[in-house]
Amino acid sequence: MKRIKIEGMMCDHCVNAVSKALKGIEGISEVNVRLEDKEAVVQGKASEEILKETIEKEGYTVLSIEDIEESGDDKKSGIFSKFFKKK
């Protein structure tokens, strides 16, 4: 997984634009974009260069891209748990 810090997102339209663009990248299986954190977390295989180009083509600035380690427990209670809460 990769965490991408993004500058320039200001509303839900921005989140939707970035989400749609990232989901269109071949090899990406999950995308979660959070306006309040100004970041996207993606799972799948895509180069950092492709991720950056895709986001910047939408008009936003990529500040950083970092790898996130995922263990078996992280799948249930890790980074994605803050995006998908059971109701």
pLDDT tens digits, 14-65 = 999 999 999 999 999 999 999 999 999 999 999 999 999 999 999 999 999 9
Which DSSP string corresponds to 42-87?
A: EEE---HHHHHHHHHHTT-EEEEEEE----TTHHHHSGGGGTS---
Hey, what CATH topology would domain 2-70 get?
A: Alpha-Beta Plaits (3.30.70)
Who has greater pLDDT, 7 or 73?
7
CA–CA dist 13, 33 (Å, integer):
11
